[in-house]
Chain A
């Protein structure tokens, strides 16, 4: 029985304490409510609550933002891999298309020049493509895919839209060998366009010509244009050959040493025209 009474006392005390606490809280709440509703004032309590909750809110909000952005970034990363693969393949396709289009444009420009030359020259021509180059260190020739079956004869002039390339040296039914104008064995009758003085253009084996038999009395300057003379009937008259790039007048001798830069770019030769002209073949 004693035990029972000793248990009841604290429980009563506890209930009493609880009632007082609730009462106190209710009273405080009532006071707070009345004062808030009455004044509509953002009091010190509000400010205190605001100041204490604010940082927590800030931290939680930032953390939440961080987690959200992390999630978004991760998802983006997953999507980026796929997109990266797709974009790479697209880029490759675009690059290939660009190269093709550039190549087509370059070929188009070159063929246009050839066509212009063909129209303007008025000579019957045979279009040919270079299929092989002379690997020797001592000669300069190329193989073209046109031969006697296409009307090509030994000695015919070979040109591009820019000027002379050389002349046909050997002929087979389907293919021909062209001796380039830069070969040392090549000799072409030419004229200095300004002074109309005739000379012989010889190849040097490199990417220049040597203009020979021009007297010292002739006025030649760098930049003077050199064209074919048309003598001997090998090359038609007036075809561009090159531009004078250097003139050396030595004390001794009758003639000047003249270096001519070719009109044709021999490094990029691809498509050519063989001019069909009535002429005796080369011996």
Chain B
């Protein structure tokens, strides 16, 4: 259920990104909402379920955007594993405090993928622009807070179970155990 719901959320975010947030074909300020989901999965979800969500999501992105297949899987999986690696080594575990790391990982992964693509197919790419990439990173930070809260709420709801019987479960008196 969690996988299906988060996959649907991912698809919705991609569709929003390619329609509502793209005012024209050269609009630079469309937030990379999918990457926020990638970050959430890296921070909060187990590896298997994350990969099940990321495979179709990156495929959809590949279909809807770009002309080089495989670019978005590289970004999604690169970002996912980089964030997972960083999250394991950071002293602060609270995901909301780790939001700036999402932007940093986005910059790193984007730059690495761009460099690789530039060597493989230099003609197809628009020249790298730091102001635009930094704008995208800033948008990721901006949208991370509300989207993380939303994902967290959905995840808690799903983990808590949708059946009312689970919600009525009797708790023991000892809350500090």
CA distance A209 to B28 in the complex (A): 18
- What are the residues of chain A within 8 A of B123 when measuring CB–CB? 184-185
Which 6 residue pairs across A and B have the least CB separation, nearest first? A205-B126, A133-B22, A185-B124, A132-B18, A267-B24, A135-B30
Among residues 252 to 271 in chain A, which have CB atoms less than 8 Å away from a CB atom of chain B? 266-269
Cβ of A217 < 8 Å from any Cβ of B? no
Residue of B19, B114, B133 near A132 (CB, 8 A) is: B19
How many pairs of A and B residues are in contact by the CB < 8 Å rule? 88
Do B17 and A135 touch (CB < 8 A)? yes
A183 sits at the interface (CB 8 A): yes
Interface size on A (CB < 8 Å)? 30
Known: A133-B24, A142-B25. 10 other contacts (CB 8 A): A132-B64, A133-B27, A135-B17, A135-B30, A138-B114, A138-B124, A139-B67, A139-B125, A182-B26, A184-B125
Is B77's CB within 8 Å of the partner chain A? Answer: no
| In contact, B26 and A267 (Cβ under 8 angstroms) | yes
Find chain B residues with CB under 8 A from A207 CB: 26
Say if the beta carbon of A96 comes within 8 Å of chain B. no
Using CB atoms, name the residue of chain B closest to A185: B124
Q: Which residues of A contact B (CB under 8 A)?
A: 131-143, 169-170, 177, 179-180, 182-185, 204-207, 266-269
Q: What CA separation (Å) do A143 and B15 show in the bound complex? A: 12
Shortest CB distance A180–B (Å): 6
Does A133 contact B19, Cβ atoms closer than 8 Å?
A: yes
Q: Provide the bound-state CA to CA distance between A133 and B28, in Å.
A: 12
> Which residues of the other chain, A, contact B132 by a CB distance below 8 angstroms?
137
Q: Is B117 an interface residue (CB 8 A)?
A: yes
21 A-B pairs whose Cβ atoms sit less than 8 Å apart in the complex: A132-B15, A132-B64, A133-B18, A133-B22, A134-B18, A134-B25, A134-B64, A134-B66, A135-B18, A135-B22, A138-B124, A139-B68, A140-B25, A141-B25, A141-B65, A142-B25, A143-B18, A182-B26, A183-B124, A184-B123, A207-B26
Known: A133-B22, A268-B24. A143 touches B64 (CB 8 A): yes
Do A184 and B24 touch (CB < 8 A)? no
**Residues on the B chain within 8 Å of A169, using CB:** 67
What residues of B have a CB within 8 angstroms of the CB of A269 in the complex?
24-25
Asked if residues A137 and B27 are in contact (CB atoms below 8 Å), the reply is: no
A133 to B23, CA, bound (A): 8
Are A179's CB and B67's CB within 8 A?
yes
A184 in contact with B124 (CB, 8 Å): yes
A184 to B2 alpha-carbon distance, docked (Å): 40
B66 touches A141 (CB 8 A): yes
Please name the residue on chain A nearest to B67 by beta carbon. A139
Contact of B126 among A137, A170, A177, A267 (CB under 8 A): A137
Distance of A206 Cα from B117 Cα, bound (Å): 20
Q: How far is the CB of A266 from chain B (nearest CB, A)?
A: 5
Q: Which of A137, A170, A266 contacts B28 (CB 8 A)?
A: A137
A185 CA to B65 CA, complexed, in Å: 14
Cβ of B21 under 8 Å from chain A: yes
Complex CA gap A142/B17 in Å reads 13
- Any chain A CB within 8 A of the CB of B129? yes
The answer to whether A185 and B26 have CB atoms under 8 Å apart is no
CA A133 to CA B26, docked complex, whole Å: 9
Contact mask B96-129 → A, CB, 8 Å, 1/0? Answer: 0000000000000000001001000001111101
Asked if A141 contacts B18 (CB within 8 A), the reply is: no
Smallest CB gap from A267: residue in B: B24
Is the Cβ of B25 less than 8 Å from the Cβ of A137?
no
- Does A138 contact B126, Cβ atoms closer than 8 Å? yes
B26 touching A131, Cβ below 8 Å: no
Give Cα distance in the complex from A138 to B127, angstroms: 7
In chain A, what residue has the closest Cβ to B17?
A: A135
Q: In the complex, how many angstroms separate the beta carbon of B81 from the nearest chain A beta carbon?
A: 21
Chain A proximity mask over B55-70: 1 for CB below 8 Å, otherwise 0: 0000000011111100
Contact B133 A137 (CB under 8 A): yes
Whole-angstrom distance from the CB of A167 to the nearest CB of chain B?
12
